[in-house]
């Protein structure tokens, strides 16, 4: 008689339960503007020694939270900071769709883009990882040139010379801020925190909240029917997935940069819808390929992967892939199930009050993770984060906070 290969029902139930717990955390971080899954990953990493659970299950929760966040962060992005209709031409692509009454469609485009990107990423993960393992020694030996190439690409793809110069200025300030603070280890209530928390929330989270205070609110929204042809939708999401793969193995290169790399695939006939699909796909696929980088190279490339690495999460592929699949399925359903209500409810609130409450929360998180020094860094980072839009530049140049110190 053959020997049956058993499946541990206890472990399976634990993986599903902790993945769903991660879904809850990712939902919280995704729906609160300015928060990131990294914040909850760091909290879990700090609490890990006191949680009577297998480190693998904690890793499952962190990973599921990270995946869900990449689905849901489009919701507050579309809701807050919507300008008055008279400013529609200068608005972001997602906000232009909201102003046109197509916010519900935009949410679904994002969810489909992320889901398709995962569907593309999973079968491509093995061959792309095999190639990266082969090429990584060469890439690592010439990392400075690679990162300079990334910076130049970001500047050249700006809309004007003024925007490019503003992006370069913002990159320099962010790089100086990162160089001065990343290695600082201030006393804080939570010992597991790092300066990444006040830096990233200050550069990318709080400026959006402050800019949102002048928004005009969300107008009535029409039906949720997708107007983008299926072929264009699939090709654009696939391009986003490949862009996420391209940057998932490089230090200091984030999903935001992957989104810019995916932009050439956006169809000229419908740039606003294509932008949402490509950027959402790049962000979600980046999480999948960052997991591959951790598994194959032992190098954590995102905050969630860093938290998993420092917690000593066993790199058990079936359990971690289950977390990705559960997170993706739940993220898709949550965007569709929660997004419309969020648009309707939060979009009609007083933006100044909402932004003020969340800004106070971010200050509190900075203090918990990095003490009063971190609060000061957060406020300085916020000032730097306000600069790029004033030049018409993208905020992605602020990734100089990580790329700059690597170059130096």
Average pLDDT, the chain: 85
Average pLDDT on 315-343 reads: 92
Going by C-alpha positions, the residue among 276, 247, 261 that lies closest to residue 109 is 276
Tokens (6 digits) for 71: 């689905």
Banded model confidence at residue 91, pLDDT cuts 50, 70, 90? low
Q: How confident is the model at residue 89 (pLDDT cuts 50, 70, 90)?
A: very low
From the CB of residue 280, how many other CB atoms can be counted at a distance below 10 Å?
31
Q: For residue 27, what pLDDT is reported?
A: 92
- 303 pLDDT more than 90: no
The predicted structure's pLDDT at residue 139: 87
Least confident of 14-28, 46-60, 85-99: 85-99
Q: Is 76 exposed, middle or buried (0-12, 13-18, 19+ CB in 10 A)?
A: buried
Angle among Cα 258, 369, 188 to the nearest 5 degrees reads 150
* Predicted confidence band of residue 109 (pLDDT cuts 50, 70, 90): very high
- Largest Cα separation within the chain, whole Å, is 76
pLDDT band at residue 379 using 50, 70 and 90 as cut-offs: very high
Looking from the CA of 342 toward its CB, the CA atoms found within 13 Å total 26
Backbone angles phi, psi at 84, to 5 degrees: -65, 155
Token pair, residue 225, equals: 């029917």
Does residue 215 surpass a pLDDT of 70?
no
Look up the pTM and report it: 0.86
CA angle 156, 162, 163 (to 5 degrees): 55
* Cβ-proximal residues to 354 (8 Å cutoff; 6+ apart), any chain: 80, 212, 346
């Amino acid at each position: 008689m053959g020997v049956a290969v058993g499946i541990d029902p206890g472990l399976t139930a634990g993986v599903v339960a902790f993945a769903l717990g991660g879904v809850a955390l990712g939902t919280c971080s995704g729906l609160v503007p300015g928060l990131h899954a990294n914040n909850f990953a760091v909290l879990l990493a700090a609490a890990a020694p006191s949680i009577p659970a297998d480190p693998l299950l904690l890793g499952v929760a962190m990973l599921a939270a990270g995946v869900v966040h990449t689905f849901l962060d489009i919701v507050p992005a579309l809701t807050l900071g919507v300008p008055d209709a008279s400013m529609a031409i200068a608005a972001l692509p997602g906000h232009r769709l909201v102003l046109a009454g197509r916010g519900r469609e935009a949410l679904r485009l994002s969810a489909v883009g992320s889901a398709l990107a995962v569907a593309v990423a999973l079968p491509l993960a093995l061959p792309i990882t095999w190639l990266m393992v082969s090429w990584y020694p060469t890439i690592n030996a010439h990392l400075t040139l690679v990162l300079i190439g990334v910076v130049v690409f970001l500047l050249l793809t700006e809309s004007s010379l003024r925007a490019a110069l503003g992006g370069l200025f913002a990159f320099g300030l962010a790089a100086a801020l990162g160089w001065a603070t990343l290695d600082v280890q201030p006393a804080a209530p939570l010992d597991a925190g790092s300066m990444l928390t006040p830096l990233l929330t200050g550069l990318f989270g709080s400026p959006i909240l402050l800019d949102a205070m002048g928004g005009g609110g969300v107008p009535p929204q029409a039906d949720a029917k997708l107007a983008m042809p299926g072929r264009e939708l699939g090709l654009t999401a696939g391009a986003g997935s490949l862009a996420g793969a391209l940057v998932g193995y490089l230090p200091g290169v984030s999903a935001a940069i992957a989104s810019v790399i995916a932009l050439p695939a956006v169809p000229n006939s419908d740039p606003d819808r294509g932008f949402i699909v490509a950027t959402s796909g790049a962000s979600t696929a980046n999480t999948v390929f960052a997991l591959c980088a951790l598994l194959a190279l032992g190098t954590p490339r995102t905050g969630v992967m860093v938290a998993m690495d420092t917690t000593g999460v066993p790199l058990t592929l079936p359990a971690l892939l289950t977390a990705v699949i559960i997170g993706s399925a739940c993220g898709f359903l949550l965007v569709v199930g929660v997004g419309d209500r969020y648009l309707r409810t939060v979009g009609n609130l007083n933006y100044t009050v909402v932004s003020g409450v969340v800004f106070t929360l971010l200050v509190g998180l900075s203090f918990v993770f990095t003490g009063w020094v971190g609060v000061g860094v957060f406020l300085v980072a916020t000032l730097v984060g306000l600069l790029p839009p004033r030049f018409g530049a993208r905020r992605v140049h602020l990734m100089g906070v990580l790329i700059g110190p690597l170059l130096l």
